[in-house]
Amino acid sequence: MIRSARHPHLAPASTPEVHPQIPDYLQATAITLGVDGVSVTLLPDAGLRIGSLVVAGRELLVRENGHPATWGIFPMAPWAGRMANATFTDLAGATHQFPPTWGDHAFHGRLYQSSANEQSVSGDGTSAVMYAPLDRAAGWPLSARAEVAAALTGNATAGALKISLTITAEVEQLVTAGWHPCFRRFLLDAKLRSEVGTEGVLSFAPTGVLARDTAMPGLHLVDAVQPAVDGGVAAPGAGATWDDPFVGVTTPPQISWGDDLTLTLTAGSAVTHWMVYDPDDALCVEPQAGPPDAFHRGGAIHLKAGERLSLPLTLEWTAKI
């Protein structure tokens, strides 16, 4: 078992959170799910993402902050992670260019910057489904359809949010997909909008981590696995200790914010890699089907027309707040 880097030099912010639970421009289409002591906000017009998860009055997620890749929990499709040089060649041999979103590369697919064209909510307000096309209008040159489902159970003391991403190919194509949760370093008192408690720390047991590609910084070698080592204690100003995909994760990872709240992440069988990114202000734990840059380096999933790729993820908590 290893843990993400600890930051003893950090403390809860001394000033109130400036970002609202639901931004004004997303209020009209936001969907709220609820059970006893728990509130979940789904945002169909912000990439079909989960914008807020409040348990026992504590916000677990980074709120909307002006950058679409650094808040909430958003689905990654039709590729997950970084795509080298923002290009890929499809099965017919045609090469496609995308707008770079991370240096020269393109990350996290197209869905997280799309809007749903259909959604439904259960009568009891505990589950919902959002749908969106993945086509040229969405910035993807092939045709597919995305579905994001969410279901809430339990209560603030012990409960779960199950989310599922399903990609259905309408033509034969290669895809990868994943989830990109951005958890808070410190929990937020949702009413007072102030950070509280101790920092969140990830514990998990990977068998290895992909080696970084020194020739292409920010990318990884899919066939070179190194031992995974503990994150240790981060030095002030050092930035993220990890920005890497881990493999061999068979026991569900856990994030603990001291004794206040423990969150267990259980992913479906299609997940092959867990990308972990841990800057000072967040803890991103990202299950993916296929490695980053799979279109160039191998590991993408081949779907025929009508075939599906599904990625369920369950976030299960126990709280003593």
Res 92: pLDDT: 94
Q: What single string gives the DSSP state of each residue in 138-205? A: GT-SS-EEEEEEEEEEE-SSEEEEEEEEEEEESS-EEE-EEEEEEEEEEEEETTTTEEES--EEEEE-
Burial of 150 (0-12, 13-18, 19+ CB in 10 A): buried
Res 42: pLDDT: 98
Give me 270's structure tokens: 């299609």
Burial 6-35 (b: 16+ CB within 10 A, else e): bbeebebeeeebeeebbbeebeeebbebeb
DSSP letter at 79? -
Res 170: pLDDT: 97
CA distance 73 to 31: 14
Q: How many CB atoms lie within 10 A of CB 80?
A: 31
Res 102: pLDDT: 81
Does pTM top 0.85 for this prediction?
yes
- Written as tens digits, the pLDDT of the chain (321 aa) is 999 999 999 999 999 999 999 999 999 999 999 999 999 999 999 999 999 999 999 999 999 998 999 999 999 999 999 999 999 999 999 999 999 998 889 999 999 999 999 999 999 999 999 999 999 999 999 999 999 999 999 999 999 999 999 999 999 999 999 999 999 999 999 999 999 999 999 999 999 999 999 998 889 999 999 999 999 999 998 889 999 999 999 999 999 999 999 999 999 999 999 999 999 999 999 999 999 999 999 999 999 999 999 999 999 999 998
Which 3 state secondary structure label does DSSP give 276?
A: strand
Res 218: pLDDT: 86
Give me 33's structure tokens: 């799910």
Q: Domains plus CATH for the chain?
A: 2-319 (2.70.98.10)
Which 3 state secondary structure label does DSSP give 285?
A: strand
